[in-house]
Amino acid sequence: MERVKESYLNDVLEGMMIPTETLMAKVIDLSDQKNEGTIGFEQRARGFYAEPLLDIPSEEFIKMMIVDGCFLVQLFRKCNDPTLRDIEDPVFNMDCMFHFLCHDLLLLENQLPWFVLESLYSLILGNGCSHQPSLAFVILEAFITLPSLKRSCNSYKQHLSSCHGNNVDDVLHILDLVRSSIVIPSKVKARKENKVHEAMFDPEIHEMHTVTALSKAGIKFKGVKSESMMDIQFKNGVFTFPQLYIGTLADSLFRNLIAFEQCYNGYSNEITSYAILMDNLISSKEDMELLCKAKVIGNWLSEEDGCKFFNNLYKGIPHNKFYYVHLCKQVNEHYRIRWHKYLASLKIEKFSNPWKIIAFFVAIVLLGLSIWTSTNNIRTFMQK
């Protein structure tokens, strides 16, 4: 990958016809202009990390930001535009290499400050920048190739087009952008419907029964198309979920999104809440099988591994605020009504196959005939 990074940097330098030192100076100057000189590029970039990285000399640190930043910008551009790729580029010549790279790109500890990426992107495009899609658009377009992010990235692109002129505000890094693509569409919908979801978490009220237990109470599960995986609904005994694809990259993605919500001040717990909800619902292979059959989950793992995926996501993480308070209350109230359990039990025991249905109605008819015969016999006896 170091050789690939060097190759991508050379692409940028050759396109701009400048040496590395000039690019470093341009990035610093552009960043200072946008930040109105209140804080320097290096200080701003170092302040982005939990530790100031004082063991890395100034020039080496700035070069590291430039090299890694150029690699990321060029990677996403090449993903979307095959004409930019070199014939011998191993990233796009090897099957699934980009998907595996995304695993590392979405690790919280590997994030680069968004302002670094944006500065490099505008410099690489030069005067044609205004006619090109924004950096957020380019990254979202690339992530659409990942099944687990396709729907959310696509809907967030549409949201940005209609509301923000393709630009994003207050994004910290790429992982933050991905989280926004998952969370913001559901927030926009909630605001339109005047719904407030998040409240204090109470295990006695908000913990739910498993999928298997709920299905025995007559609750049905259904996968639906929606702009965000967060848009889970419950109405008239039907639980609807936007389909979620669980593959090799999903575990790392969710863990880092949850870690991001827990580590950064001011961020709400939507992804953490989603993990809690799914963990409540899934505790066995049978639960996973039911959700896969209902097309709620597209599981590329075994049922057992898919179950472990949710059970291990948020262990030991505090979660005071919970996003699905109203939803859990609805489901639990429905579950507590005994009539629903009786009807569900009747369907399972009496109507599970056509022969049982026929036998049930034959029994009803025979019972009716027996009552009718008995009534006639009583009438005849009384008349005598």
- Terminal CA-CA length for the chain: 104
Q: How far apart, in Å, are the Cα atoms of 31 and each of 8, 119, 120, 122, 265?
A: 22, 7, 10, 11, 25
Same domain? 241 vs 215: yes
**CB-CB neighbours of 107 under 10 Å:** 14
Strand-strand pairing, 220-224 and 238-242: parallel
C-alpha 101/C-alpha 1 separation (Å) is 10
Same domain? 113 vs 11: yes
Burial 44-76 (b: 16+ CB within 10 A, else e): bbbebeeeeeeeeeeeebbbebbbbbbbbbbbb
Instruction: Among 107, 132, 157, identify where a domain stops.
Output: 132
Q: Is residue 138 part of a domain?
A: no
Three-state SS for 156?
Answer: helix
Q: Is residue 184 part of a domain?
A: no
Same domain? 295 vs 370: no
**Domain housing 319:** 190-339
**CB-CB neighbours of 122 under 10 Å:** 18
Same domain? 334 vs 358: no
Amino acid type, 317: I
Same domain? 331 vs 195: yes
Taking the chain (384 residues) in runs of 10, the rounded mean pLDDT of each run is: 92 93 91 71 87 83 94 95 89 86 92 94 80 90 88 87 71 94 80 62 76 90 86 91 83 91 86 90 90 85 78 74 86 74 49 56 65 66 58
Q: Is residue 344 part of a domain?
A: no
Q: How far apart, in Å, are the Cα atoms of 171 and each of 167, 204, 367?
A: 10, 36, 70
**CB-CB neighbours of 366 under 10 Å:** 10
Q: Is residue 371 part of a domain?
A: yes
Phi, psi of 240 (to 5 degrees): -110, 135
Phi, psi of 322 (to 5 degrees): -130, 135
Burial 318-356 (b: 16+ CB within 10 A, else e): ebebbbbbebbeebeebbeeeebeeebeeeeeeeeeeee
Find, among 325, 322, 202, the residue nearest to 272 by Cα: 322
pLDDT score, position 377: 64
Q: Is residue 160 part of a domain?
A: no
pLDDT score, position 325: 86
C-alpha 253/C-alpha 272 separation (Å) is 12
Q: Write down the residue that tokens 């099988």 correspond to.
A: 289
The alpha helices in the chain, defined as continuous H runs, are: 2-16, 20-34, 41-46, 58-80, 90-93, 97-105, 114-125, 135-143, 150-163, 174-192, 203-206, 211-216, 250-263, 270-281, 285-293, 303-311, 325-336, 338-350, 354-383
pLDDT score, position 303: 73
Same domain? 233 vs 364: no
Q: Is residue 282 part of a domain?
A: yes
Three-state SS for 18?
Answer: coil
Same domain? 329 vs 376: no
DSSP state of 127: G
The token pair that represents 209 in the structure block: 């029964």
User: In total, how many domains does the chain have?
Assistant: 3
Same domain? 296 vs 334: yes
Q: Would you call 372 exposed, middle or buried from its count of C-beta atoms within 10 A (0-12, 13-18, 19+)? A: exposed
Contact criterion met (CB below 8 Å) for 136 and 117: no
pLDDT score, position 344: 46
Same domain? 219 vs 303: yes
Same domain? 101 vs 18: yes
Contact criterion met (CB below 8 Å) for 80 and 131: no
Find, among 45, 175, 176, the residue nearest to 104 by Cα: 175
Tell me the whole-structure pTM to 2 decimals.
0.83
Same domain? 45 vs 84: yes
Same domain? 369 vs 296: no
Residue 365 CA, distance from chain mean position: 53
Q: Is residue 185 part of a domain?
A: no
The token pair that represents 16 in the structure block: 């701009």
Q: Is residue 153 part of a domain?
A: no
